[in-house]
Structure 1
Amino acid sequence: MTDDHPVLVVGESLIDIVQRAGQEPVELPGGSCANVALALGRLGHHPRLATVLADDARGQVLRRWLAASDVAVEATAPATGRTSTAAAVLDAGGAARYEFDLSWVPPRIADHRCDALHVGSIASVLAPGADAVRDLVRRVRRQALVSFDPNARPGITPDRDATLARVEELVALSDVVKVSDEDLGWYFPGVAPVEAASAWARTGPAVVVVTQGGAGASVVRADGRVLHVPGEPTEVVDTIAAGDTFTAGLLDALLTAGVAGPGAYQRITGLGDADLTAVVRRAHAAAAITVSRPGADPPTRAELDAGP
C-alpha cells in the first residue's frame, strides 16, 4: 500500500510488565500511542511517533519493535534516565489493571506536515508534556484529521475534574474521538455512555465512537444521530492494545477513504451511515485479531484483509 497521507502520532511508549495468574512476569513493548503507531505501520502506513524514551535496554527494545513495523521514532530522553513501564495484572478474563512508572516531558516534534494526527491517553493529560500535545492539536486543527483517545488512567491522574477539563478541551478540537464505555464511566459516573458521548459530540468532533467490548460500538454523529455497530466475535486471550488497534483501524479506514488533511471534518460529516458503519466494522475486525493473541500484537494489512 502506498501511504499518501503522512501520519503523526504523539504519546507514550513503555514496557508492559505483564503478570498472569500462576506465571512469571513477562516484559512486552507497548504504550497506548505507541500501539496505535505500530498498528498503523502494520496496516501499510509509515507513521512518525513523537515520544519519550530513555537510552536504556528497554528503550532499545521499543525502538526495534517500532522500527520493525515501519514506525519512525522521534524520541525525547526523560530526566529519570529510565524508559517508562506499566505493570499489567491480568484477571481471569484477560482484562488488564495497570500500575505505572512513567515520565512524560514535552516531546520534540519535528515541524513536518501531517495529514492525520493521533493523540491520547497519558500523554494528553500528564504534565508537563500535556501542554505540548494540546498546543500541537491547536496548530494542526482543520489542517489534518485529528484523532483523540481520552484513555482514563485514574492511578496517574486522580483529580477527575482537572483531568476532565484537559480532556474536554481536546475533544472539542478533534475530528474523531474514540472512547471506551469504561473510560466514560470514570469521567461521568452514573451517566449512560452514549449520553456522555452525545454531550461531547455537540462540542466539536464529527464523530464520537464509544467502544463497549464484545457488545460492539456506538457512533454518535455531530448532528446527534447514533449508530450501533455490532462487535466481531472472537476468543479473547487478553485485551492489551485492543482499543489502540481499534483506533488504528478507524484511522486506516478513514485514510483509505480519503478523509485526511484540510477538509477532513467535512469529509467525515459527509459520509453516509453505511459508509461510517463500514469504517467501524473494519476497526472491530482489527481489534478482534489483537485480542485473540497475547500482548500488543496488532494485525498486518494482509491478516486484516484475509478476515476471520
Structure 2
Amino acid sequence: MTSLDRDNAAADVLVVGEALVDVVTTADGATQEHPGGSGANVAVALGRLGRPVRYAASYADDARGQSLATHLAGSGVRMACDPHVLARTSTAQATIAADGSAAYVFDLEWKLGEIAVGTPRFVHIGSLAPVLSPGAETVFALLDGLPDGVRVLYDINMRPTLTGTGQEVVSRIERAAAYADVVKASDEDLETLYPGLGLDDAAARLLALGAGAVAVTRGGDGASWITTSERIDVSAEKVTVVDTIGAGDTFSAGLVDALWDDFERDRREVLAHGVRAAAITVSRAGANPPTRAELGA
C-alpha cells in the first residue's frame, strides 16, 4: 500500500498530473518500457533536484503500476493520494523519429482519489490534469481551495490526439491558466491552442486571462519569458538529442527549482536553469531528468 503524506507541508511542492508507462519504439524498431507521464516526470525531476515533493496521480496495482511506484520512490517522491483507483495502469505508445522527436498514442484514464493538499509552497499542474474528465473536476476543486500565497505553475503540454482541440479543451486550458503565476508552454502548444495567432499574441491572450507570466520553450531556438511588459529570450544548450521524452517536464521542474527561494529571481537565470536541465534529459533515452549533482556539473 502506498504511503500517504497527510502533514501540513508548508515547504514542499504538490505535483498533480498523469502517471503512465511509456512504451517506446525507437527508429531502429526496438521497444522498451519506461515509467513516465507528464506529472510523474515533473515530480521525479524535482525529487532528483532535492526538492520535497508530493504527487497526486493514479495508476493500478499491477506490474506497470508497481514499476511507477518504484520509480517515484527512488527519487524521493511521496504520494498525496492513494493512486490505486484504476483497473489498469495507463500507457503511451511513443515512436521516436530519426531526429529524436516523439509521437504518442495513448491508452489512458485520468481520475483522482482524495488529495491531501496541505499548504505547499508550489502547486504544479499540467498536461491532461485540468483537461480530461473526470480528473479535471478534481483538479479545479483543488485550485479553487488553495490557501493564499501558494504559487501555481501550469504546463499546458497539449495532447490533441487524446483530447482533441475543440472549444471545451480550449476553455479548460484557459480556465487553468487564470490560476497560474506561471504558464509554461511549447511553441507547438501555443500554435495548437491558438492556430495562426503567433507566439507573442498567444502569450498575450493567456496573460489577459490572469496568468502572471508565460514561459515558452522553442526547441533548438531556446526559451522565452513573456509578461505584459517584457520578453526575455535565452538560447538552447548544444547537445546531441537521443529523444525528447520528458524534456518539457524537466524544464517545468527546473523553473520551480529556480524560483524556490526567490520568486523574483532574475528571469534570464530562471530560463537558463530550466533549459540546462532539459538539455541533460534529451541527451539520454526516456524521461530521465538530472540529479542536482549532474545539473551542477
Q: TM-score range by the shorter chain?
A: over 0.9
Matches within 5 A, 1:222-233: 223-233=228-238
Aligned length: 288
TM-score with structure 2 length normalisation?
0.93
Q: Which residue of 2 aligns with 1:286?
A: 277
Q: Which residue of 2 aligns with 1:75?
A: 82
Matches within 5 A, 1:25-104: 25-73=31-79, 74-79=81-86, 81-104=87-110
Matches within 5 A, 1:124-139: 124-139=130-145
Structure 2 gap segments, 5+ residues each:
1-8
Structure 1 residues 179, 105: closer, same or farther in 2, change over 3 A? same
Letter of the aligned partner of 2:84 in structure 1?
Answer: A
Deviation at 1:150, TM superposition (A): 0.9
Letter of the aligned partner of 1:213 in structure 2?
Answer: G
Deviation at 1:24, TM superposition (A): 2.5
Contact 2:102 2:244 in 1 (8 A): yes
Question: Secondary structure at 1:35's aligned position in 2?
Answer: helix
Distance 1:120 1:172 in 2: 13
Letter of the aligned partner of 1:251 in structure 2?
Answer: V
Q: Which residue of 1 aligns with 2:191?
A: 185
Q: Which residue of 1 aligns with 2:5?
A: none
Letter of the aligned partner of 1:292 in structure 2?
Answer: S
Greater than 4 Å deviation, 4+ residue runs: none
Distance 1:47 1:296 in 2: 18
Contact 2:154 2:183 in 1 (8 A): yes
Distance 1:7 1:42 in 2: 13
Matches within 5 A, 1:196-235: 196-221=202-227, 223-235=228-240
Letter of the aligned partner of 1:282 in structure 2?
Answer: H
Deviation at 1:203, TM superposition (A): 2.1
- Identity across aligned pairs (percent)? 47
Q: Which residue of 2 aligns with 1:265?
A: none
Residue from 171, 174, 198 that aligns with 2:180:
174
Deviation at 1:21, TM superposition (A): 2.2
Instruction: Say what the alpha-carbon RMSD is for the aligned residues.
Output: 1.5
Contact 2:56 2:112 in 1 (8 A): no
Contact 1:160 1:187 in 2 (8 A): no
Task: Give per-residue Cα distances to partners, 1:244-290, cap 9 Å, x unaligned.
Answer: 00000000000032x3xxxxxxxx4xx5xxx1110110000000000
Q: Which residue of 2 aligns with 1:23?
A: 29
Letter of the aligned partner of 2:241 in structure 1?
Answer: V
Contact 2:119 2:147 in 1 (8 A): no
Task: Give per-residue Cα distances to partners, 1:26-60, cap 9 Å, x unaligned.
Answer: 11000001100000000001201110010000000
